[in-house]
Structure 1
Amino acid sequence: MLSWEERRLMVKVAKLYYFEGWTQAQIAAKNNVSRPVISKLLNNAKKEGLVEIYIKDETVHTVDLEQKLEKMYDLDEVIVVSTAGYDPVMVKRQLGKTAAAYVGKKLQNVKSVGISWGTTLLSLVEEYPYERRDDIQIVPIVGGMGTKDVHIHSNQLAFHLAQKMNTSCSYLYAPAMVESDDLKERLVNSKDIAHVLDKARNVDMALVSIGTPYKSSTMKSIGYLDDDDINSLSKAGAVGDISSRFFDAAGEEIDHPLNNQVIGLNLEEIKNIPQVIGVVEGSYKLDSIEAALRGGYLDILIIDDQTAQALIQ
C-alpha cells in the first residue's frame, strides 16, 4: 500500500511531466534525485492507476482497425476511413478522397499505373488533384468499351486520371467481356490489344476495387451479367470479382466460361503487380472482400470503418 507521501510525490512528478511539459531531467534536478528515479516514479504512477494515458481522438479507433487488419491478412498497409454520419454518396466520396491522397504520395519511383473500373475507382479519379506527373503512363488492366455508364469503364478512367496527372494513357479497344471464346482469342491476339495487355502486366502499381455479382452489381446494371449468369456463378461458388475476374470463398479464380471471356489481366497476373491498391466500401461486399484478402491479391487496402469493423468480427 502506498503511503500518502509516496502518492503525493508520484502525482506531483506526473503533473509536472504530463501537464507542465517538464523533462525528466528537469524534475530530477528540482527534487535532488537522479533521472532514473523519476522514470521509475512515472512508471509506478501508471501501474498504480494514478495516471492513465489514452489518446483522445476518434482516429485511434481507425488506427486500431488498421493494425488488426494488417496482421490478419498480412497486408503492407491498411487505411481505414472514418465515415460516421455520412450518407452512402459521401462515404464513397470520402473513400475516393483518401485513396487519391494516398496514391499521390506513393508515386515516387512509379513509371506506370494500371487501373480497373467501377464506381469506387471513379470516385478516386474524381477526387484526384490536377498535378504534373508526365513521367507516368496510365494503363487500363481490363477492357473498357461499352455504351452504358461509359464514365466508369477503364478506358474512360485511364483517360480522366491521365488528364489529372497531365500525362498520357493507353486504351484497350475491347469490352471487358465478349460473347465467345473465339472472339476473345481474335481480340487478345490482335497487335494493339496484345501490346496494351503486355503493358498492363508490367505496371508498377494497380488500382482495383472488389465487386459482388449478387447485390448492387455494377456488372449487372451495365448489362455484362444477366440473371442466368448470376445463377451459374452462384453454382460455381463465385463470391466476388476483381477486374471482372470471379473468385471463390478461398480467393481462387473459378473455372467458369465468364472468366474465360474477359479481355484483361487474370487474377494471377494482377497478383504479380508489385503494388496492388484495393479501394473498397460497403458491408454488403463482406464475403467478397474477405475472399479477395484470402487470395492475397491486395498489398494495400483502403476501406470504410464499418466494413473494416465487420471484417474483424
Structure 2
Amino acid sequence: MLSWEERRLMVKVAMLYYFEGWTQAEIATKYNVSRPVISKLLNNAKKEGIVEIYIKDETYHTVELEQKLIEKFNLKEVIVVSTAGFAPEMAKRQLGKSAASYIAKRTKDVKSLGISWGSTLLSFVEEFPYEHKKDVHIVPIVGGMGSEYVHIHSNQLAFNLAQKMNTSCSYLYAPALVESIDLKDRLVNTKDIANVLELAQNVELAVVGIGNPFKEATMEKIGYLNDNDLTSLRKAGAVGDISSRFYDAVGNELDHPLNQRVIGLNLDEIKKIPEVVGIVEGSYKLESIEAALNGGYLDVLITDDRTAQELLQNQSLR
C-alpha cells in the first residue's frame, strides 16, 4: 500500500507533467531528485490507477486495427480507412485517396513503379495529386488492351498516373488474357512486349488490386471470363486473383489454363518486387485477401475498417 505522502507526490508530479507541460528534467530539478526517479513515479502512477491515459480520437480504432494486422500477417504497413456510412463508390474513393497519399510519399525514394488494373486502382489514380516526379517511370505489370472498360486497363492507368506525375510510362501492347497458350508464347517473345515485361520484373514498387472471381468480378463484366471459366476455376479451388493470376486458399498460384494465357507478371515475379501495395475494399473479398496475405504477395495493405475487423476475427488463419 502506498502511503498518503507517496500518493500525494505522484499526483503532484503527474499534474505538472500531464497538465502543466513540465519536462521530467524540470520536475526532477524542482524536487531535487534524478530524472529516472520522476520517470519511475510517472510509471507507478499509471500502474496504481492514479493516472489513466485515453486517446480520444476517431482514428484510434483504425490505428489499432492497423497495428494488429501488421503483427498478424507480418506486413510492412497497413492503412485502414474508416468508411462507415459511405456508399460503395465513395468508400472506394476514400481508399484511393489514402493510397494516393501513401504512394506519393513513397515515390520520393523509388525510380520505377508498376501498376496492375481494376476499378480500385482507377480510384487511386484519380485521387493522385499533380506532382513533378520526372525521375519515376511507370510500368504496367499486366496486359490491358481491349475495347471494354478501357479506363481501368493497366496501360490507361499507367498513362494517367504518368500525366499526374509529369513523368514517363511504358505500354504493354497486349491483352491481359489471350485465346491460347501458343498465342501468349508468341506475343511475350516479341521484342516490345519482352522489354516491357523485363521492366515490370524490375520495378521497385507495385500497386495492385485483389479480385474475387465469383463475386462482382470485373474480369467477368469485361468478358474475360465466361460461365465455363468460372466453373473450372471453382473446381480448381480459386479464391482470388492479383493481376489476372488466380490463386487458391493458401495463396498458391493455380496451375490452370487461364493463368497460362495471361500476359503479365506471374505471382512469383510479383512477390519478388521489393514493395507490393494492395488496395482492396469490401468484406465480400475477405477470402481473397486472406489467401493473398497467406501467400505473402503483399507488403502493404490498404483496406476499409470493416474488412480489417473481419480479417482479425477470422480464427482460421495463423
Which band: TM-score by shorter chain? over 0.9
Tell me which residue corresponds to 1:105: 105
**Letter of the 1:174 counterpart:** A
Residue type at the aligned position of 2:24: Q
Equivalent position of 1:58 in the other structure: 58
Determine the structure 1 residue equivalent to 2:193. 193
**1:126 Cα deviation after fit:** 0.3
Q: 2:230 is matched with which residue?
A: 230
CA-CA distance at 1:224 after TM superposition: 0.6
Q: In 2, distance between residues paired with 1:290 and 1:54?
A: 32
Alpha-carbon separation, structure 1, partners of 2:135 and 2:29: 57
Counterpart position of 1:176: 176
Partner of 1:79: 79
Give the Cα–Cα distance (whole angstroms) in 1 for the partners of residues 177 and 34 of structure 2. 73
Q: Which residue of 2 aligns with 1:304?
A: 304
Q: Which residue of 2 aligns with 1:154?
A: 154
AA matched with 2:106: K
1:33 positional shift: 4.5
Q: Which residue is equivalent to 1:219?
A: 219
Q: For 2:206 and 2:39, locate their aligned partners in 1 and report how far apart those are by CA, in whole Å.
A: 48
Provide the rounded CA distance (Å) in 2 between the counterparts of 1:158 and 1:138: 6
2-structure distance, mates of 1:185, 1:9: 78
TM-fit CA distance, 1:267: 0.6
Return the letter of the residue paired with 2:85: G
- Find the residue that maps to 1:216 and give its secondary structure: coil
- 2:239 — aligned with what? 239
Could you tell me the percent identity over the aligned residues?
Answer: 75
> Residue 16 of structure 2: SS of its match in structure 1?
helix
Q: Distance in 2 between matches of 1:13 and 1:163?
A: 56
Q: Counterpart of 1:209 in structure 2: which amino acid?
A: G
Paired amino acid for 1:110: V
- Amino acid of the residue matched to residue 218 of structure 1? T
CA distance, structure 1, for counterparts of residue 157 and residue 25 of structure 2:
57
Residues in 2 aligned to 1:39 and 1:193: alpha-carbon distance in whole angstroms: 62
Alignment partners' CA distance in 2, 1:255 and 1:195: 25
* SS of residue matched to 2:38: helix
* TM-score in terms of structure 2 length: 0.94
- Deviation at residue 10 of structure 1 after TM alignment: 2.2
Give the secondary-structure state (helix, strand or coil) at the position aligned to 1:296: coil
Residues in 1 aligned to 2:35 and 2:165: alpha-carbon distance in whole angstroms: 54
Unpaired runs of at least 5, structure 2: 314-318
Distance 2:36 2:259 in 1: 65
AA matched with 1:182: D
Unaligned runs of 5+ in 1: none
Question: Which AA in structure 2 matches 1:248?
Answer: D
Give the 3-state SS of the residue equivalent to 1:229 in structure 2: helix
Which sits farther off after the overlay, 262-271 or 196-205?
196-205
Provide the C-alpha distance between the structure 1 equivalents of 2:119 and 2:268, rounded to a whole number of angstroms. Answer: 23
Tell me which amino acid in the other structure corresponds to 1:108. K
2:119 alignment counterpart: 119
1:129 corresponds to: 129
Moved runs in structure 1, 4+ residues, more than 6 A? none
RMSD: 1.5
Q: Name the counterpart of 2:286.
A: 286
- The Cα of 1:163 is off from its aligned counterpart by 0.8
C-alpha displacement of 1:134: 1.4
Instruction: Report how far residue 24 of structure 1 moved.
Output: 2.7
How far apart are residue 217 of structure 1 and its match? 0.5
1:27 aligns with 2:8: no
* AA of the residue aligned to 2:162: A
